[in-house]
Protein backbone atom coordinates (compact mmCIF):
# COMPACT_ATOMS: atom_id res chain seq x y z
CA UNK A 1 0.00 0.00 0.00
CA UNK A 2 1.40 3.38 -1.01
CA UNK A 3 1.68 6.11 1.64
CA UNK A 4 0.98 8.86 -0.89
CA UNK A 5 0.08 9.22 -4.55
CA UNK A 6 1.39 11.45 -7.34
CA UNK A 7 -2.04 13.09 -7.56
CA UNK A 8 -1.74 14.29 -3.96
CA UNK A 9 1.36 16.36 -4.73
CA UNK A 10 0.53 20.09 -5.07
CA UNK A 11 1.87 20.35 -8.62
CA UNK A 12 0.15 23.70 -9.11
CA UNK A 13 2.62 25.22 -6.63
CA UNK A 14 5.50 24.59 -9.06
CA UNK A 15 7.57 27.77 -9.28
CA UNK A 16 10.02 27.88 -12.22
CA UNK A 17 11.72 30.96 -10.77
CA UNK A 18 12.87 28.89 -7.79
CA UNK A 19 14.32 26.01 -9.78
CA UNK A 20 18.05 25.68 -9.23
CA UNK A 21 19.42 24.70 -12.71
CA UNK A 22 22.05 22.37 -11.22
CA UNK A 23 19.30 20.27 -9.64
CA UNK A 24 17.53 19.40 -12.89
CA UNK A 25 20.14 16.92 -14.24
CA UNK A 26 20.19 15.19 -10.85
CA UNK A 27 16.43 14.79 -10.67
CA UNK A 28 16.37 13.43 -14.23
CA UNK A 29 19.05 10.83 -13.42
CA UNK A 30 17.44 9.85 -10.11
CA UNK A 31 14.13 9.27 -11.93
CA UNK A 32 15.83 6.58 -14.06
CA UNK A 33 17.24 4.61 -11.14
CA UNK A 34 14.04 4.85 -9.09
CA UNK A 35 11.82 3.85 -11.99
CA UNK A 36 13.96 0.74 -12.46
CA UNK A 37 12.77 -0.57 -9.06
CA UNK A 38 10.33 -2.97 -10.68
CA UNK A 39 13.17 -4.89 -12.37
CA UNK A 40 15.04 -5.00 -9.09
CA UNK A 41 11.94 -6.45 -7.44
CA UNK A 42 11.94 -9.29 -10.00
CA UNK A 43 15.53 -10.03 -9.02
CA UNK A 44 14.66 -9.95 -5.31
CA UNK A 45 11.62 -12.20 -5.81
CA UNK A 46 13.80 -14.67 -7.67
CA UNK A 47 16.43 -14.68 -4.91
CA UNK A 48 13.75 -15.11 -2.19
CA UNK A 49 11.62 -17.47 -4.25
CA UNK A 50 10.40 -19.60 -1.30
CA UNK A 51 9.57 -16.65 0.98
CA UNK A 52 6.05 -15.40 0.14
CA UNK A 53 6.11 -12.75 2.91
CA UNK A 54 9.23 -11.16 1.50
CA UNK A 55 7.99 -11.50 -2.08
CA UNK A 56 4.85 -9.55 -1.17
CA UNK A 57 6.98 -6.93 0.57
CA UNK A 58 9.22 -6.65 -2.53
CA UNK A 59 6.15 -6.08 -4.72
CA UNK A 60 4.87 -3.31 -2.45
CA UNK A 61 8.34 -1.80 -2.26
CA UNK A 62 8.68 -1.72 -6.05
CA UNK A 63 5.34 0.10 -6.46
CA UNK A 64 6.73 2.86 -4.24
CA UNK A 65 10.10 3.02 -6.03
CA UNK A 66 8.40 3.27 -9.42
CA UNK A 67 6.27 6.09 -8.04
CA UNK A 68 9.45 7.88 -6.92
CA UNK A 69 10.70 7.65 -10.50
CA UNK A 70 7.43 8.92 -11.94
CA UNK A 71 7.19 11.84 -9.49
CA UNK A 72 10.80 12.90 -10.15
CA UNK A 73 10.27 12.41 -13.90
CA UNK A 74 7.17 14.60 -13.79
CA UNK A 75 8.99 17.33 -11.85
CA UNK A 76 11.95 17.21 -14.27
CA UNK A 77 9.53 17.59 -17.20
CA UNK A 78 7.99 20.68 -15.56
CA UNK A 79 11.45 22.14 -14.97
CA UNK A 80 12.64 21.26 -18.48
CA UNK A 81 9.74 20.66 -20.90
CA UNK A 82 12.18 19.29 -23.50
CA UNK A 83 12.90 16.28 -21.22
CA UNK A 84 11.37 13.08 -22.60
CA UNK A 85 11.11 10.95 -19.46
CA UNK A 86 9.67 7.78 -21.12
CA UNK A 87 12.29 7.84 -23.91
CA UNK A 88 15.16 8.44 -21.46
CA UNK A 89 13.98 5.58 -19.27
CA UNK A 90 13.58 3.23 -22.25
CA UNK A 91 17.22 3.93 -23.11
CA UNK A 92 18.28 3.30 -19.52
CA UNK A 93 16.44 0.00 -19.26
CA UNK A 94 17.89 -1.12 -22.57
CA UNK A 95 21.46 -0.44 -21.47
CA UNK A 96 21.40 -1.25 -17.75
CA UNK A 97 20.34 -4.84 -17.20
CA UNK A 98 19.60 -6.50 -13.88
CA UNK A 99 19.63 -10.32 -13.70
CA UNK A 100 15.92 -10.71 -12.97
CA UNK A 101 16.16 -14.53 -12.90
CA UNK A 102 19.03 -14.88 -10.41
CA UNK A 103 18.92 -18.10 -8.35
CA UNK A 104 20.90 -16.62 -5.49
CA UNK A 105 21.91 -13.21 -4.24
CA UNK A 106 24.97 -11.63 -5.83
CA UNK A 107 25.91 -10.79 -2.20
CA UNK A 108 26.49 -14.46 -1.36
CA UNK A 109 23.64 -14.83 1.13
CA UNK A 110 20.13 -13.54 1.79
CA UNK A 111 21.32 -11.68 4.88
CA UNK A 112 23.95 -10.05 2.70
CA UNK A 113 21.37 -9.11 0.08
CA UNK A 114 19.22 -7.44 2.74
CA UNK A 115 22.19 -5.57 4.22
CA UNK A 116 22.99 -4.29 0.71
CA UNK A 117 19.36 -3.14 0.40
CA UNK A 118 19.69 -1.34 3.74
CA UNK A 119 22.76 0.50 2.37
CA UNK A 120 20.83 1.63 -0.70
CA UNK A 121 17.89 2.84 1.38
CA UNK A 122 20.27 4.64 3.74
CA UNK A 123 21.78 6.39 0.74
CA UNK A 124 18.47 7.38 -0.82
CA UNK A 125 16.92 8.46 2.47
CA UNK A 126 19.91 10.74 3.18
CA UNK A 127 20.09 12.02 -0.39
CA UNK A 128 16.45 13.06 -0.75
CA UNK A 129 16.53 14.63 2.70
CA UNK A 130 19.61 16.67 1.69
CA UNK A 131 18.19 17.60 -1.72
CA UNK A 132 14.79 18.60 -0.29
CA UNK A 133 16.35 20.74 2.44
CA UNK A 134 18.61 22.52 -0.05
CA UNK A 135 15.91 23.16 -2.65
CA UNK A 136 13.82 26.33 -2.65
CA UNK A 137 11.33 25.02 -5.20
CA UNK A 138 8.17 24.05 -3.25
CA UNK A 139 7.11 21.02 -5.32
CA UNK A 140 10.59 19.48 -5.32
CA UNK A 141 10.74 20.09 -1.58
CA UNK A 142 7.46 18.26 -1.10
CA UNK A 143 8.42 15.31 -3.36
CA UNK A 144 11.80 14.92 -1.66
CA UNK A 145 10.16 14.92 1.77
CA UNK A 146 7.66 12.24 0.70
CA UNK A 147 10.32 10.11 -0.99
CA UNK A 148 12.78 10.40 1.92
CA UNK A 149 10.07 9.17 4.31
CA UNK A 150 9.42 6.17 2.03
CA UNK A 151 13.14 5.40 1.83
CA UNK A 152 13.42 5.38 5.61
CA UNK A 153 10.47 2.98 5.82
CA UNK A 154 12.18 0.81 3.18
CA UNK A 155 15.30 0.71 5.33
CA UNK A 156 13.22 -0.54 8.26
CA UNK A 157 11.49 -3.09 6.04
CA UNK A 158 14.74 -4.63 4.77
CA UNK A 159 16.30 -4.36 8.23
CA UNK A 160 13.46 -6.39 9.80
CA UNK A 161 13.75 -9.12 7.16
CA UNK A 162 17.53 -9.06 7.52
CA UNK A 163 17.25 -9.76 11.27
CA UNK A 164 15.07 -12.77 10.48
CA UNK A 165 17.66 -14.18 8.03
CA UNK A 166 20.58 -13.33 10.27
CA UNK A 167 19.18 -15.72 12.91
CA UNK A 168 19.02 -18.45 10.31
CA UNK A 169 22.24 -17.84 8.35
CA UNK A 170 24.37 -16.44 11.15
CA UNK A 171 26.47 -14.33 8.79
CA UNK A 172 29.63 -13.23 10.61
CA UNK A 173 30.32 -9.56 11.39
CA UNK A 174 33.28 -9.28 8.95
CA UNK A 175 31.07 -10.65 6.16
CA UNK A 176 28.27 -8.20 7.00
CA UNK A 177 30.77 -5.36 7.05
CA UNK A 178 32.26 -6.44 3.72
CA UNK A 179 28.84 -6.53 2.03
CA UNK A 180 27.97 -3.10 3.44
CA UNK A 181 31.24 -1.48 2.34
CA UNK A 182 31.07 -3.24 -1.03
CA UNK A 183 27.60 -1.88 -1.74
CA UNK A 184 28.55 1.64 -0.68
CA UNK A 185 31.54 1.46 -3.06
CA UNK A 186 29.24 0.51 -5.93
CA UNK A 187 27.72 3.99 -5.87
CA UNK A 188 30.46 4.88 -8.32
CA UNK A 189 29.62 2.04 -10.74
CA UNK A 190 27.40 2.39 -13.78
CA UNK A 191 23.94 2.59 -12.18
CA UNK A 192 23.96 6.34 -11.51
CA UNK A 193 26.52 7.35 -14.15
CA UNK A 194 24.60 5.61 -16.93
CA UNK A 195 21.34 7.10 -15.61
CA UNK A 196 22.97 10.53 -15.92
CA UNK A 197 23.97 9.72 -19.51
CA UNK A 198 20.51 8.51 -20.59
CA UNK A 199 18.67 11.44 -19.04
CA UNK A 200 21.06 14.32 -19.77
CA UNK A 201 23.42 13.69 -22.68
CA UNK A 202 22.39 14.96 -26.11
CA UNK A 203 21.62 12.24 -28.69
CA UNK A 204 24.76 10.88 -30.29
CA UNK A 205 27.10 11.61 -27.36
CA UNK A 206 28.66 8.29 -26.32
CA UNK A 207 28.50 7.07 -22.72
CA UNK A 208 31.63 7.91 -20.77
CA UNK A 209 31.53 6.56 -17.22
CA UNK A 210 33.97 9.04 -15.67
CA UNK A 211 32.45 12.08 -17.34
CA UNK A 212 28.90 11.07 -16.35
CA UNK A 213 29.87 10.13 -12.81
CA UNK A 214 31.51 13.52 -12.35
CA UNK A 215 28.38 15.12 -13.84
CA UNK A 216 26.25 13.41 -11.23
CA UNK A 217 28.49 13.40 -8.15
CA UNK A 218 29.98 16.85 -8.72
CA UNK A 219 26.48 18.25 -8.34
CA UNK A 220 24.88 15.77 -5.89
CA UNK A 221 27.60 15.76 -3.25
CA UNK A 222 27.28 19.51 -2.78
CA UNK A 223 23.86 19.13 -1.15
CA UNK A 224 25.02 17.05 1.80
CA UNK A 225 25.64 18.53 5.21
CA UNK A 226 27.36 16.77 8.08
CA UNK A 227 24.04 16.03 9.81
CA UNK A 228 22.93 13.89 6.81
CA UNK A 229 26.13 11.84 6.95
CA UNK A 230 25.85 11.50 10.72
CA UNK A 231 22.30 10.17 10.48
CA UNK A 232 23.22 7.88 7.56
CA UNK A 233 26.17 6.47 9.50
CA UNK A 234 23.82 5.60 12.36
CA UNK A 235 21.67 3.61 9.91
CA UNK A 236 24.73 1.83 8.46
CA UNK A 237 25.93 0.92 11.95
CA UNK A 238 22.49 -0.40 12.87
CA UNK A 239 22.31 -2.54 9.71
CA UNK A 240 25.62 -4.26 10.43
CA UNK A 241 24.85 -4.76 14.11
CA UNK A 242 26.84 -1.96 15.75
CA UNK A 243 25.68 0.68 18.21
CA UNK A 244 24.21 3.44 15.97
CA UNK A 245 24.85 6.33 18.36
CA UNK A 246 28.15 5.48 20.00
CA UNK A 247 31.65 6.92 19.83
CA UNK A 248 32.60 4.66 16.93
CA UNK A 249 29.67 5.85 14.84
CA UNK A 250 30.70 9.40 15.61
CA UNK A 251 34.28 8.84 14.48
CA UNK A 252 33.10 6.99 11.35
CA UNK A 253 30.69 9.84 10.47
CA UNK A 254 33.47 12.43 10.77
CA UNK A 255 35.76 10.29 8.59
CA UNK A 256 33.02 9.74 6.01
CA UNK A 257 32.30 13.48 5.93
CA UNK A 258 35.95 14.28 5.24
CA UNK A 259 36.03 11.66 2.50
CA UNK A 260 32.84 13.04 0.96
CA UNK A 261 34.21 16.60 0.93
CA UNK A 262 37.42 15.40 -0.72
CA UNK A 263 35.53 13.35 -3.36
CA UNK A 264 33.10 16.24 -3.95
CA UNK A 265 35.95 18.66 -4.65
CA UNK A 266 37.63 16.22 -7.03
CA UNK A 267 34.37 15.68 -8.95
CA UNK A 268 33.82 19.44 -9.09
CA UNK A 269 37.29 19.91 -10.53
CA UNK A 270 36.50 17.31 -13.20
CA UNK A 271 33.21 19.11 -13.93
CA UNK A 272 35.02 22.46 -14.28
CA UNK A 273 37.53 20.87 -16.68
CA UNK A 274 34.65 19.46 -18.73
CA UNK A 275 33.09 22.94 -18.92
CA UNK A 276 36.39 24.43 -20.15
CA UNK A 277 36.82 21.67 -22.76
CA UNK A 278 33.21 22.16 -23.94
CA UNK A 279 33.60 25.91 -24.35
CA UNK A 280 36.94 25.45 -26.18
CA UNK A 281 35.42 22.98 -28.64
CA UNK A 282 32.39 25.29 -29.09
CA UNK A 283 34.63 28.26 -29.98
CA UNK A 284 36.70 26.06 -32.34
CA UNK A 285 33.47 25.00 -34.04
CA UNK A 286 32.39 28.65 -34.38
CA UNK A 287 35.79 29.61 -35.82
CA UNK A 288 35.72 26.77 -38.40
FE1 LIG B 1 13.18 5.38 -3.99
FE1 LIG C 1 13.60 2.89 -1.38
Q: Is residue 87 helix, strand or coil?
A: helix
User: Ligand 1 centroid vs 148 CA: distance in angstroms?
Assistant: 8
Q: Is 226 a member of any domain?
A: no
In the structure, what pLDDT confidence band is assigned to residue 278 with cuts at 50, 70 and 90? confident
Q: Is 223 a member of any domain?
A: no
**pLDDT above 90 (res 103):** no
User: Ligand 1 centroid vs 147 CA: distance in angstroms?
Assistant: 6
Query: Over the Cα atoms of the chain, what is R_g?
Result: 19
Q: Which ligand is nearest to the CA of 127?
A: 1
User: Ligand 2 centroid vs 280 CA: distance in angstroms?
Assistant: 41
CATH number for the domain harbouring residue 162: 1.10.620.20
**pLDDT above 90 (res 73):** yes
DSSP conformation letters of 160-224: HHHHHHHHHH---HHHHHHHHHHHHHGGGSHHHHHHHHHHHSPTTPPP-HHHHHHHHHHHHGGG-
User: Ligand 1 centroid vs 247 CA: distance in angstroms?
Assistant: 30
Alpha carbon of residue 271 to chain centroid? 20
Q: Is 200 a member of any domain?
A: yes
User: Ligand 2 centroid vs 264 CA: distance in angstroms?
Assistant: 24
Which of 227-231, 238-242, 272-276 is the least confident region? Answer: 272-276
Distance set, CA 262 to CA 177, 219, 221, 267 (Å):
23, 14, 10, 9
User: Ligand 2 centroid vs 282 CA: distance in angstroms?
Assistant: 40
Q: Is 273 a member of any domain?
A: no
Q: Is 261 a member of any domain?
A: no
- Distance CA(54)–CA(200), nearest Å, equals 35
Which H helix or E strand runs over 33? Answer: helix 23-35
For residue 141, give its domain range. Answer: 19-208
pLDDT at 152: 98
- Distance CA(182)–CA(42), nearest Å, equals 22
Alpha carbon of residue 232 to chain centroid? 13
User: Ligand 1 centroid vs 34 CA: distance in angstroms?
Assistant: 5
pLDDT at 210: 94
pLDDT in tens, 159-212: 999 999 999 999 999 999 999 999 999 888 999 999 999 999 999 999 999 999
pLDDT at 265: 96
249, 234 contact by CB (below 8 A): yes
How many domains does the chain fold into?
1
**pLDDT above 80 (res 282):** no
User: Ligand 1 centroid vs 279 CA: distance in angstroms?
Assistant: 35
Q: Is 88 a member of any domain?
A: yes
Q: Is 43 a member of any domain?
A: yes
Q: Is 115 a member of any domain?
A: yes
Amino acid sequence: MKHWTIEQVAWDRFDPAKVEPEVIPLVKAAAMVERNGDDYALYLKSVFKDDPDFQQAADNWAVEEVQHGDALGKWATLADPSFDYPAAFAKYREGFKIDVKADASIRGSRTGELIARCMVETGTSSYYTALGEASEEPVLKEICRLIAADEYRHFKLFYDHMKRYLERENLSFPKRLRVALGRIGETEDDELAFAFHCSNDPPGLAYDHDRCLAGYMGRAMGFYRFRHIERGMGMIFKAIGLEPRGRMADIAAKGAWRLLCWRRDRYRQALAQQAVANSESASLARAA
